Structures are given as structure tokens and as C-alpha cells.
Structure 1
Amino acid sequence: MKRQLQMIGFFALVFMFLSFGLTCIVHADEQDIRLNIQVDAGLNGKVKQQQGYPVTLTITNEKADFSGDLVVTLPVGNKVIPIDIASGTTKTITFSVPAMREGAFSRGPNQKVQRFHLYEGNWEDGEEVTIDTSLDLSPAYMAREKLVIGVLSDRPDSLNYIKLASFQGNSPEVIHLQASDLPEDATGLDVLDMLVINDYSVAKLPDNIQAALKDWVGEGGTLVTGSEPGLQQQFGELADLLPLTVKGKEIVQKMQGFSKLYQKPLQADSIELFTGEIDEKARVLYKEDSLPLVAEKAFGQGDVTQVAFDLGLPVLADWKGSQSLWETIGSDAGNRNSQMMPLNLRMNDQLTNMSRTFPTLANFKVSTLSYLFIAYLLLILPVLYIVLKKADKREWAWVVIPAIAVISSVGLYAVGAKDRSGHVKTNTVSVISVDEQGIGSGDGSVSMLSKGAGAYTLTMDSELDPVAANNRYNPQQTVTDLPFVEAKGKHTAINYRNVEFWSPRSAAIDYPVKKYGHFQSGLTRADDNISGQITNNFKHDLHDVYLISGNNYQKVGDLAAGKSKEISFSVKDKSFYQRPIEGVAQRLFDQLGSMTQHSDQALQADLLSMAIRNNMQRNVNTPVLIGFTDEALYPVTVNGDETVQNNLHLFTQPVTIQLPGNEKSTFSSEMNLPNISVLDGQIFHNGTMQNQLFFDAESGTYLLRYELPASLKERSAQLKEMDIHITNNRNGTTYSLYNVESDTYEALDGNQASFDQRVHENYVTDNAVVVRVNASRNGSIKVPTVRVKGVINP
């Protein structure tokens, strides 16, 4: 018994020792943590699939002063954040994460990647110190189909009714924002599809945040604001984006101007309706007699919509027309989200693949290689045999044949590698879209080709916000396998390690919103002819300049910087009124180039096709001028040295073609990309936003609104004939055309319907033709093509 008690006592002591030891180890680990870091990702902790989002780090230093680098591992590389923090202080650092999908770091079930590493000194040769290994970027991902609306207001509760609106059959995700939530760059705002500002002083925000908001709009964001006295002053750096300058007000009891949205007027005992001057670049969407109610102004690739009253009016929450009003305002708000396309169609991925195309031996045509092989066989077999036989030196064949093979191989190798010798080569491709004032932005990619194995540093202007591209996360990779991206003053360096011999490395770039230059045009259309002068006011010489519209194009030719060219061409039986569609790239360059051929035409066709597919000019329904330049837009260095740059940049700009002032003339136009709204059901994917002639939806009822080009509306055009063509009408889907006079929908049977009697009076409502689609089951729905003919100034 005594022995048993001794054994029990012994194991009890061992257990206490181990327990104490484990406790001490945990305590020691906590003591070893160099800095305490709290991570907040997203806007109010929420992000959207494949969209950038902001991250806020709250860093507390309870030990000695610290100076070093924090490295955050992302799927495309490591972001280096310098940290200098004094002892006993807390510091806040914000940065933005580029677009990535949920679960991008997954190694498998219950396996995590350590995303944060801290180095005392610097990441290259400093010592890694201990931080909490559980730190992570773990925001809540919102449903991809939801429209995300940010709200900035000192009375946020007054805008809660927006949550009841419907966008393409889905309720929106509304995020109330504080000044502290706003990121310092436009990438962090990519979470939002729309930003509503009402009763809020933007001017009180820091200058860099105001600049980020402006850049976000310029890159395709939709900003909506109400009106109040002193709005221009309250909007600070964004004041020049407002379509209406408030100068006075009127008190009304009801508004009839929204009757097209809802039959009953918006009314109350007293509504302040603010009046003023409409910007010459703005357009009025709704008005009360002569007073604007809603105006819109484009800026870059985005737009600003201003409502002439307080958006927080209590009567708006009760008025049943509010939902239709918000649906109209937000109809284009999700178009900027090109990342929602399949991965292989994403613009950055395509640009990266194009920039990684360097001249190689593979560029020889098959026919050329065939001729070389035939010549080689002729030389080796009959020619060599005859020569050696005549000289009676046939035994020399054992030496001559291998020598010819070696010389041929070395020659082919030298020709194929000639562009890989000398300085490091870089390729840059991009698409930049500007408005008629020359303000724009764009996307691009830079790739370098290594001369030998080793480490390479690709450096460029920080304005381009470069991120490592085409690096897919491999679960076997360590933090040092991925490139390191760090800001160095006005430049950003991407450090690639362990680069293989003759291997490309790429960076995606984001051209900032600014003035790039523009085409100055004075084109007019008279009868069946377009003529006028086009001037290149860009800083770069342009080649392959074209005017494109719908599926039609007209060559302008080469145009040096500052030079002008007169053009004149017939447009009989051609439209040239609306924005281009993707098919024009194929027609213009003969065929969409295969990337295995790498011809100049193939690259140009791919750039143009990609630009159209990604809505290069989504705000306007007008023809577009395009031009290419081979000149460098920004300098690029590799390992501190200048590079031999190959460049191909596409500039696009909408252009206004003036119609006859008082002369009567005819016109024709084709419309195939309608605005789609939901009466009943839900849209899963709206392909028309990417120039695709279909949308995927559940069973329900949908309205397709085909807007006539704005230039026709300005000249009081009258439709005389209309054809509606329906392709691949699947079973269970029916189409009908809205008749304005009878207020009914007329069934469209078959694949073709033609109208030539009172077309304008019967079928045009608010400058648009409306087609209703009834789908009895889920699936893809083709959108009809509407062709019209008519008279200008009838």
C-alpha cells in the first residue's frame, strides 16, 4: 500500500511540474511578442468577391522603440509596410488589398497560412521577430450579386429606406460609413458599387481621402448626392463633379416629374426643391416643368448623380416610387465590376498574358520552318552526297553532317534569342479611356524578361499602384518565394527572387485618374456623309486611328501629336450613332489575333476587343475614337537600370458627331445592348454589361429598354421603320413590345418582327423602345436586336 501511495505521489508531482512548465511556456510566448497588432479588414468588416478592400492595422508597442518592416503575404505577393513606433505608443496604419477571391490562401482543411511576418531592421537582411501567428485577413464576404451601397451622412437613419430598393431583383447591401472607415486610396473603395452622400461635409475629410473618393468615381464609381444650401463648399475637392450648382430654392407640395416611374406624385406639406445652374457637361434625367429634379454628370469612367432635394426626406420612405427611382439611378452602378467576369476574361489577366509575350524562336512561321527543314535535308542528302562523291571524300560526311547540324542549331538559337541579349527587355501594354475633356484612367501590365537566373527588382512610378501579377498561390510556397512589393518615396519596387533563366515576371498597373490628352473633333453628319477635322491633342504620336460605332469603323490613319487630319466618308446604310460592340474589333483587324502568333494586328485586336468587352466608355452611347501609341508613358527600370521598352497603348475617347441643325435628313441605327430591369425574378449575370448579348436569370418578367442615341433625341428624330430580331428564342421565353398609345404589350412572334406604321408615336417612350421578356424557367436569355430607320428634323 505504501509503495502504491509513493507511485501516486510521484505521478502527481510529475503532472504538476508539466502543468507548471506548460503554463510558463505559454506565458513566455506571450512575453516574446514584439508588437501587438489588431487587424480590421473591409468596410465594416465586409468585402466583395474579387474586389479590393481596405485594411486597418492598430499597432501597440509595449517594449522598446521599434523600427522595421511588417510583411503581409497576399496571393500575388508580399506587401512590405515600414513601421517606426516609439515605446509605449499606439499607431494606426491603413492600406488596401487588391482584388482576390475568398479562400485564396487555402492549403486544405484546417490549414492556415501565416500572413504576417515582422522583421527588425528590414525584410531583406533583418531578423524576424515574434508576433501573433494567428493574425489574418478574415472579412465577411458578401454575395457577389448584391449591389453594395455606402452611405455617408450625419443622419444615416434617414436613408435606411434605401435597403427596401431592388436592383436586378436583389436587395442591396447598405453600409453606413464613418470618416474613419474611408481608405486613403481608390482600391479600398472597390467594395462599393455606389456611394450616397447626403447632409455631410466632404470638405472636412483629409485631402488624401477626398482624392481617393474622386479617383474612385473617375475609375467607374457611381456617386449619388442630395442637395442643400452651400453644397459646393461642403463637397470640397469633389465640388467640380457636381452637375447642379445650387443657387436658390423653391417650396413645393408635390412633384409630378417622376410620373414615368410611379403614377402618384411625390407630395408633402412642404418640400424644398433646390434650383441653380446645370453644368454644360451634365444631362437632366427628370424635371419638374423647367426645374431639374435629377441630373447626371460623367467624370472619367464614372458618374455623379445629383437629386435636387434632400434624400433623407421622410416622405421618400413612404412614397412607392422611391424603389423605381433608386433602381434607375443605380442601373449602371455595377458595370464597373469587370472582375465579376470569369477569370480567363478578367482584364488584368489578359493584359498580363499579352505583356508576357516576348519575341522568341516560336515566332517563326510554320511555313518558314518547313522551308528551312527542306533546305537542310536537300543539303545533307543529295547536295552533300554529290559534292563529296565528286571529290572522292565521302568519308568526310562523318564530320560535315554533325558540323552542319551544330551550325544550324546555333544559328536558329541566335536568331530566336537576338532580342534577349543586351539590356533587360520590358513589355508594357495598356488601355486608357478618356472623356472628351481628356480626363481618364486605365489598366495595364508591365513584364520583364530575365537575362539570367537570380533576383530582379522592377521599379516604376507609385502613381501606377503596381502589384505583382500572374503569380498563383502555391500551398508549398513560403513567404520568401513570393515577390516583395514596397514603396520607396515616389516609386514602388517589386522584388522578384529566384527568377529562372529567360523567364518573364509581370506587374499589373492601374493608371491614375488625370488628364492624358484628347482628340479634338469637329465631325458633322449631313445626309449620308460624315466629315470634319480630327486633331491629336495627346502628348504621343498615334497610329491606327479609327472612328468606330456599333459594328462599323472608319480609318483615320496615323496622327502625330498636335497634328490634324480632315476626313470625309459615306455612311449610307450605316449607323455611326451608338457605342461600338465587340465584333468591330474582329472586322477592323480581319480576325481576333491568336496569341500564339503575336502579330501587331493580333495584339491590337485583342486590346480593342478587351476594352469594349469591359465597357471602356460605359457612360455614353456615342461613337468612339481610338488610337495606338508605341511610346513609353512611364519610365520602368530593372535593378536600377533603364530597359529596352516595347510598348503598345490603346487610347479610347467618345466623340460627338453633330447632326444637321435645321435640315431634314434620314438616319438608321442598330441597338443591341439594352438596360435591363426586373419586374419579377432575379438576374444572376447581366452579360450586357460586358457587351454580351444575353443575361442569365431565373423565371420571371424583365424589361429591356433600348435607348436611342442622345444625338437623335437632341434633333427631334422620328422613327419611321423598326425591325426586331430575336435569335435562338428558347422554349418558355416570350417577348412583347410596349405600345405607348394603347399602354399594352404586343406579342412578338417568331424571330423577326417589322413595323412601319406610326412607329414613333406607338413605340417610343422617353426616347426608348421597351421590350418585355417573360421566362418560364431559369437560364440564359438572348436580348433582341432592334434596328430603326427614321428622319431627323422631320
Structure 2
Amino acid sequence: MKYFEKKLSVFLTTLIFMVSIFVPMNIFAAEEKKANNDVIIESIDYGYDKTFKIGYECPVTIKVKNNGKDFNGDIKILIPTKTIGFMSSNSYGGYDAYTKSISMESGSEKIITMDIKLDNYVDNLVKVYKDNKVVAEKNFKALGGSFSGTPYIGVLSEDNVNMAYTKNIAIGDSAQSVVVNFTEKDFPQIYNGLTSFNTIIISNFDTSKLSENQYDALKKWVEKGGNLIIGTGENYKKTLSIFKDDFIKGSVDGTSVIKSTKLDENGTEVNIANLTVDNSETVLEESGKGILLKSKKQGGTILITTFDLTNSAVVNSNKISDFITENIKVYGTDNILNENDNNNLFWNVESVLSTFSETNKISVKMLFSIFTIYIIFIFPSAYFILKRKDKKEKMWYAVPVLAVIFSIVIIGYIKVCGVNDKYVTSLNIINLTKDSETLESYIQFNNLSKGNNKIESNYDLQKITMDQSNNYDQGKAVPNKIKSTINLDDNSFTLNDVNVIDSNKIKGNMIRTSSGDMSLELFLKDKDIMGKVKNNTDYKIEDAFVVVKDGGVIKLDTIEPKSEKEFSLITSSIVGNLKNGPWEVVDNFFKINQGPFNKLSKKEQISESQKAEIYRMVLQNYYEKNKENYILGGLINNFNLEPIKINNKEAKQYGKNMLVTNLNTKINVESNIEINIPKEFISYSVNPLEGNFNYDSYSNSIYDNSEVEVLYELGNSFIYNSLDINFEGVNAEYKIYNKQTKTYYDIGKGNAKESINKDEINNYLNEDGQIKIIIKTAEQGSATIPQISGKGVTK
């Protein structure tokens, strides 16, 4: 019996040794707590009057009192985090800790605010540390969280009573809007603090009271996809006081009074500012005066009303809430900031960051050879040798010893291949403007050791998480360990307790000086509109593409630095259309599962599939917010990655760098030449009429008992010889406005085609170069917004 126990002991000891080689052990030391009643956490407030949007940052405000001696320490908010990654469960994996330094004099009180993501019904912890010891601790449970699709409206005004009607603004499909009234004291200082908000309204407020950080946060929020509404009118001077840079630039020629029926069906007199705003368009007029101006800023929109939104005549009008609601829907961006839709993005990012062929350094053939030698030769040889010497019982020792030797050989081979090195894979999306480039990076850390791994970079870092939900076991306790620490003082990020199955990913944002810009010139060649892209940067753009306004994607191959590239806008040059989603476009672009792709090596196929995944992800998200522009994109290999340090040592990086930007467009066409005018050349807006407004902006279609007026901007640059309009729909009917008779007349139903010759055009084209068409769908009907093409002579 003792002999068996001895053999078992040797076997288990060897087994533990083998496991320890592959799985480093790390036990979290229990935090030392100091008996101390001197430091007290008096209160913890969260959200906006106890309301917050799940999956988005909201303020957590902690009031601390120090009844003891002066001290310097830290304050941490510990948020339970779900385990994410391959083979992960929906239970908690530990805590994410947000930490900030705190310095307190004896007898003082201090209020600390941090922007944190919270979830419903979860116990969060707040701890105060002095000399690395916990001197105060308090938990709080967040209640009142709204689901991630709830529209949030932020209001900056000195007259919140007259802005109370904003609670009736309905910009969401299935939830009442949440309105948050800000002051200059509590308006967020960083962009992350604004991500909950779909719309921010500023009216009758002295914007010069905002700090530079608050202004920068507001601008970044707009560029990322937010809707900013600014009321001016008699208070235009103070409302526009902070906008002294290129963000909003223009002039005001005093004020005047008009009678508005768009705000009140009976008409009401309103004082308006006579505004001119650079790079904007007037989308609504009354009495010959602009009352609503629109300006695009990358992914977002600025809507400026020339009247004050707190004006008593406006507040008492019977259509003001509907006015704002409808114009956000028509002229604003999609009302959710896509970057926080992590449930949709996560698996795209996971796939991209895990398929870098450059990091696959282990030879499968070599590993197979080592296994074959062990299984076929070494293990049987040991058995037969011991059997021949009549010492078969020694196999108890030989098996684990050989396994250890074999493990050491495998580990040695892996280390020689460099697989255990710490390295970073990243997807970097670069958006260019004239003066700056915005860098958005999805970053994965590989082969990290257990323990603390401190990440430092110039990025504004944020952990990538799945959207919070009730998809976890609330009955389970949270493990007493910190998975990651986000230091809000120095922008560092620490990963702790790293496991192979964990998803060690963060997102980085930064804005840096632009290396140049991209522009587009439209010109004429053999009666067809051509495009010429001018690359004014030092970037070499590979697998380049242009997305035209219709959603068609044109492949341009490579664009060299400081060069020009011509392309045709004719339909035959388009590889697909994004209205139908990015999948077919990208498959045609890279010829996935076609002959040329199947002839590539395995490594090349991995690389091409990875690029295809990037293009699907970027095209889908970017096109949705930038459909009114020509878009250029492509991969750049000569991009300087931002350095990332892991434990004070710069990490090796493997990056895929995607350039995507709106093109500044110039039309350069000679006069008195007949040309074919493609449908992509004529812009339009969709305006709701009475009834429902069921509009899918991605596919440009309406459905289910909706009625809209489509306003086409043909402009006055051409003398039109003919126009063609194609209608596609089911249970849908169409009408066109005749300016001579001042009535709409029926065009047809379902699928129809309308051709207008030169003699008839003036019946429909008004003095502003516009054509109006009404589309109406039945209960189960749908219709694509028609587009106009034609021929004309340049003026």
C-alpha cells in the first residue's frame, strides 16, 4: 500500500509541475483594511437624477469627508464585469476598477465625479485608499437604467421652464425621451461623458461659460454622430459666443420679425436672427427668411434655428415639439451613436484582431513531427526497454518524466518561435479633415502574463465590453478580484488576472495633426461625369474605393502618395450598392469564394478574409452616417502607429490601418456642353407629411402606411433636356407637383417609370431648381425613394 502511495505521490507531483509550466498561478492578495472612522463616504449619486442609459457612461459623484489627518490617496469605483471571450460564460469575472487620486486636508470635504458605465440591479463598490490600505468603503446599487435604445436629450439653457416642452420631443421608435438639463458646472468635461446623448439643445445660454475641455468634448461628440440643435433669435450673441473657430463660422445681420405657420398652424410672430453660416444649407424658409440651417460635421449634424427656442411665442406655439421631432428625423443623423453598439461590433472586432497571419509563427508540421516522434518512438521505446529489463513498474515514473521532458521541448520550441512575446494587434480607422486626423483604434493584447500588465499610450483609452443587459446570473457572487484598472489621472490601463479565454481588448481614440487631405473633382469626359481623387497626403492607399451618394461602390485599386486617380461614375464601374448591405459589395470587391481567391495560398486567404471583414464593418457603420457625401477609403501600410507600452516596455505591434473620409467635392464642367447627369449627382431630402413616418434611411425606403414628400435639388447649373424617374414599390402610389397648375398629379403605382421631355420640364422644375414628389404606401406597402437622372447642357 505504501509503495502505491509513493508512486501516486510522484505521479501527482509531476503532474502539478507540468500544469504549473503552462498555467502560471496567481492568487489575489486580500486587501488590507485599516480600522479608521476618520474618512467617511457620505453619499454616492449616479446618473442624471438616478437615471442612466445602460452601456453608456454616466456620472458617478462621491462625497468624501476627512475627519482625520491630511492624506493623499486614491478613490476607486469597482464595477462588476462579465466574462467576455471564447468559451466564456455569462457570469461575472470580477471587477473593473476606475481610480482617481484624492488629496484631502483635515476636516475637509471633497466631491469626486467619474464617468462610468453602470448596469441595473448590480452591487458596485466605492473604496478610499490611504497608504494602499482601504480606509473607507461603501456599496451602491444602480437602479433606473434605461435600455440602450432610449433617446437622451441634453439641454443647455438659462430658462429651463420655457424648455420644458423638450420632454415631448419623440426621436425614438419605442421609448419616451429622457431630458437632462445641464449647467456649465455639470456639463461633461470629456467626450465619454456625452455618449449617452443622441441630441443636445442649446438656446438662451451663454456658451462662453463652457470650458475649453467642455467645448472640445461637445465638438467631438458632434463629429462622432450627435445631433446638436442651436437656437439663436434675439439671444444669438450669447448662444453663439463660444463658436469662434471653424466649427461654426458665419455672420449675423441683426434680427427681424416674421409670421410663422410652421410653428403654429394659426401663425405666430417670431423674432429671428438673419444668419449666414459657412458650409451650411437653408433647409426651411418662411417669408423669404431661413428659419432652419443645417451643417454636417463628419458623422454628426448641427441644426440652427434662427429663432430662440425659449422665446415665449415659440414656447406657446402648438407645433414646436413636432417641429423639432420631425426635423431631427429628416435632417439629423441616426439617433444612436454607433460606436457604442458593441454587441454588433464586438464579433467583427474579435474576428479581425485574431486573424493576423503575421502572428502565426508556429509551424504546424513541426508540432506534428514532435508529437509523432513522442507517440511512435519515445513512449513505446521506453515501454519496451523497461519490459526487457523486467522493470515495467518503472513506467509509473517514466510516463510523467517523459511527459515533462516532452513539455520542455514543446515550450522551448514555442519560446524560440517568439509566441510568448507580448505583442499587440490593432485595427486603426483614420478619418481625415483639412486640419486633423481622428484615430479610432481597436486594440488586442496577446500573450500577457497573469498579474498586473500596465498599458500606457497617447490614446484616450476605454475598455471594450459587450452592452450591459440582464444576460448574466444575478444570483452569483462577484469574484473578489480586479480584472482591469482604468486610471483616470494618467490615462493608463492595467489588465489583471489575465486568462487565455479572456478578451483583452480596449478602444483608443485620439486626434492628431493631419498629414494632408483628400479631395474630389467632378469633370466631363465624352458626355460622362468622371471623378478625379486628389491624394494630398503621404499615405499610399491600397484596395481603395469611392462610395457615391447613391451607395454605389467603385473600386480604385492603389492610390499613390501625392497623386491623382481618375474614375468613372457610370453604372458599369460599380461593384455593388450599400443599400443592400455591405456583404455582396465586399465579396465582389475581394472576389471572396471566386476563382482568383481560391488560388491564393492559405496565408493570403487569411489576410484577404481579414481585409474583407474590416471593409464590411467600416462600410456599414460609416456609410449610414455619411450618405450625403462622396466617401473614400482604403488600407494604408505606411501609417505610423501610436506606440503602446506594456509594463514600461514598448510592445511590438501588428496593425491594419483603414483610411475612411468624406471628400471635399468640386464640380469643374465647361459651359454649353450636353452631358449625361447620373442619379448620384442629384441630392434629395425626405420630408414626412401627415401620418406615420416609417423610413429606413439605410435602404432609402418607406413602408407601412407612410406618406412623404421628396424634395429633389437639381440646382441651376444645367439647362435640362430630359429627366428620367424610376419608381419601385409594392402597394405604393406616386404624385408629382406641377408648379403651373399648383397641384399634384398621379404618376402611377407599384413599379413605374416617368420620362419628362424638354418641353415639360418647366412645369415641374421651380425657380430654385427643385422638383417635388409625393410617395404614399399602404398598410403593408413599401417603396424605395426614387432617384432622378437625365441629360442637360451646362450653363
Superposition TM-score, scaled by structure 1 size: 0.74
Cα gap change, 1:33 to 1:606, in 2 (>3 Å): farther
Partners of 1:283 and 1:67 lie apart in 2 by: 54
What's the C-alpha RMSD, in Å, of the aligned pairs?
4.7
Out of 69-78 and 526-535, give the one that drifted further: 526-535
CA deviation string 1:405-437 (max 9, x = no partner): x999999999998764475221110323345x3
Aligned counterpart, 2:298: 300
Matched, 1:82 2:101: yes
Kept after mapping to 1: 8 A contact 2:735/2:747:
no
* Number of the residue aligned with 2:310: 312
In the alignment, structure 1 residue 622 sits paired with structure 2 residue 625: no
Residues 484-510 of structure 1, C-alpha deviations (whole Å, 9 max, x = no match): 121453xx3222223246976211223
Specify whether residues 568 and 130 from structure 1 end up closer, same or farther in structure 2 by C-alpha distance, changes over 3 A only. closer
- 1:713-728 equivalence runs, <5 A: 715=718, 720-726=723-729
Residue in structure 1 matched with residue 791 of structure 2 by the alignment: 791
Matches within 5 A, 1:720-759: 720-726=723-729, 734-741=731-738, 749-750=749-750, 752-757=751-756
Q: Secondary structure at the match of 2:496?
A: strand
Amino acid at match of 1:267: T
C-alpha separation between the residues in 2 aligned to 1:292 and 1:418?
Answer: 70
Q: Is the 8 A contact 1:242 1:304 kept in 2?
A: no
Q: Distance in 2 between matches of 1:73 and 1:598?
A: 43
Cα distance in 2 for residues equivalent to 1:570 and 1:143: 43
Q: Displacement, 1:658?
A: 1.8
- Map 1:616-655 onto structure 2 (within 5 A): 616=623, 618-630=625-637, 631-655=639-663
2:129 pairs with one of 119, 127, 134: 119
Residue of structure 1 aligned with 2:667, choices 649, 655, 658: 658
CA offsets 1:313-342 (integer angstroms, 9 cap, x no match): 222234445345313431254625245997
How far off its partner does 1:185 sit? 0.9
The code of the aligned residue for 1:59 comes to V
* Residue aligning to 1:589: 590
- Equivalent residue for 2:159? 155
More deviation, 354-363/450-459:
354-363
Q: Which residue of 1 aligns with 2:93?
A: none
In the alignment, the residues of structure 1 paired with residue 35 and residue 683 of structure 2 have an alpha-carbon distance, to the nearest angstrom, of: 64
Does the 8 Å contact 1:223/1:304 carry over to 2?
yes
The residue number in structure 1 matching 2:518 is 519
The structure-2 alpha-carbon separation of the partners of 1:313 and 1:94, relative to structure 1 and needing over 3 Å to count, comes to same
Q: Which residue does the alignment assign to 1:571?
A: 570
Q: Deviations over 1:232-269 (max 9, x none)?
A: 6654543336656343224334247x5xx98x57432x
Question: Which amino acid is 1:546 matched to?
Answer: F
Code of the aligned partner of 1:653: T
Kindly state the Cα deviation for residue 62 of structure 1 after the two structures are TM-superposed. Answer: 2.5
Equivalent pair of 2:275/2:306 in contact (CA under 8 Å): no
SS for the counterpart of 1:326 is helix
Distance change (3 Å), C-alpha of 1:163 and 1:440:
farther
The answer as to 2:97 corresponding to 1:94 is no
Between the two proteins, what is the percent identity of the paired residues?
14
1:357-506 equivalences under 5 Å are 357-359=355-357, 420-421=418-419, 423-435=421-433, 437=434, 439=436, 441=438, 443-450=440-447, 452-461=449-458, 463-467=459-463, 469=465, 475=476, 477-487=478-488, 489=490, 492-500=491-499, 505-506=504-505
- Show the counterpart of 1:14: none
Contact 2:357–2:603 (CA under 8 A) maintained in structure 1: no
- For residues 324 and 721 of structure 1, what CA distance do their matches in structure 2 show? 34
Candidates 137, 141, 160, aligned match of 1:131: 137
CA shift for structure 1 position 446: 0.9
Going from structure 1 to structure 2, the CA distance change for 1:165 and 1:739 (only over 3 Å counts) comes to farther
Question: 1:238 aligns to what SS in structure 2?
Answer: coil
Offset at residue 744 of structure 1 (A) = 5.6
The alignment status of 1:65 with 2:52, answered yes or no, reads no
CA shift digits 1:49-85 (9 cap, x unpaired): 4332222222222333232222212355221122211
SS in 1 for 2:625: coil
Counterpart of 1:215 in 2: which secondary structure? helix
- How much does 1:200 deviate? 0.8
Number of residues paired by the alignment? 689
Q: CA deviation at 1:41?
A: 1.9
**Structure 1 residues 669 and 530 mapped into 2: Cα distance closer, same or farther (>3 Å)?**
closer
The 1:433–1:749 alpha-carbon spacing in structure 2 relative to 1, beyond 3 Å, is: same
* Contact persistence 2:737–2:773 (CA under 8 A): no
Match of 1:604 among 600, 611, 619: 611
CA contact (8 A) 2:689 2:709 kept: no
How far has the Cα of 1:445 moved from its partner?
1.0
Q: Distance in 1 between matches of 2:446 and 2:150?
A: 41
Deviations 1:579-628 (A, max 9, x none): 88634333322249999997333233222222232245725513211122
The worse-fitting range, judged by mean Cα deviation, of 334-343 and 516-525 is 334-343
Q: Classify 1:116/1:90 alpha carbon distance in 2 versus 1 (closer, same or farther; 3 Å).
A: same
Query: Matched residues in 2 for 1:737 and 1:693: separation?
Result: 16
3-state SS of 1:621 partner:
coil
Matched residue SS, 1:181: coil
Whether the aligned pair in 2 keeps the contact of 1:70 and 1:119 (CA below 8 Å) is: yes
- The question of whether the paired residues in 2 share the 8 Å contact of 1:552 and 1:574 is answered with no
Which amino acid counterpart does residue 499 of structure 1 have in structure 2? V
- Amino acid across the alignment from 1:789: S
SS in 2 for 1:567: strand
Task: Tell me how far apart the structure 2 counterparts of residues 496 and 448 of structure 1 sit (CA, whole Å).
Answer: 9
TM-score, length-scaled by structure 2: 0.74
Deviations 1:191-235 (A, max 9, x none): 221111111111112322222222222222211112256846654
User: Does the 8 Å contact 1:427/1:645 carry over to 2?
Assistant: yes
Instruction: Note if contact 2:553-2:578 (Cα within 8 Å) is conserved in structure 1.
Output: no
> Is residue 468–residue 483 contact of structure 1 (8 Å, CA) maintained in 2?
no
Do the aligned partners of 1:533 and 1:564 also contact (CA within 8 Å) in 2? no
After superposition, the C-alpha distances for 1:167-188 in whole angstroms (9 at most, x for unaligned) are: 3666543332222331111211
What is the CA-CA distance between 1:48 and the residue it aligns to? 2.4
Asked whether the 8 Å contact 2:42–2:64 carries over to 1, the reply is yes
Q: Deviations over 1:342-367 (max 9, x none)?
A: 7541x3553354224454998999xx
AA aligned to 1:467 is K
CA distance in 2, matches of 1:530, 1:408: 68
Q: Any conservation in 1 of the 2:556–2:567 contact (CA below 8 Å)?
A: no
Give the structure 1 partner of residue 324 of structure 2: 326
CA distance in 2 between counterparts of 1:416 and 1:711 reads 65
Counterpart AA for 1:113: D
Q: Is the 8 A contact 2:65 2:108 kept in 1?
A: yes
2-side partners of 1:229 and 1:676: how far apart? 28
Determine the C-alpha separation between the residues in 2 that align with 1:677 and 1:36.
Answer: 52
Of the structure 1 ranges 304-313 and 518-527, higher mean CA displacement relative to structure 2 is found in: 518-527
Once residues 358 and 414 of structure 2 are traced to their aligned partners in structure 1, the CA distance between those partners, rounded to angstroms, is 5
Contact 1:64 1:87 in 2 (8 A): yes
Q: What residue is the counterpart of 1:387 in the other structure?
A: none
Kept in 2: contact 1:67–1:83 (CA 8 A): yes
Shift of 1:736: 2.5
* 1:665 shift after superposition: 1.5
Counting only pairs closer than 5 Å after superposition, residues 190-269 of structure 1 correspond to structure 2 as 190-228=195-233, 231=236, 235-240=240-245, 243=248, 245-255=250-260, 266-268=267-269
- Counterpart Cα distance in 2 of 1:265 and 1:517: 52
- Superposition deviation, residue 157 in structure 1: 2.1
The SS at the match of 1:587 is helix
Between 422-431 and 567-576, the greater mean CA deviation after superposition: 567-576
Please state if 1:35 is matched with 2:40. yes
| Cα distance in structure 1, aligned partners of 2:558 and 2:285 | 44
Inter-partner Cα distance in structure 2 for 1:743 and 1:146: 40
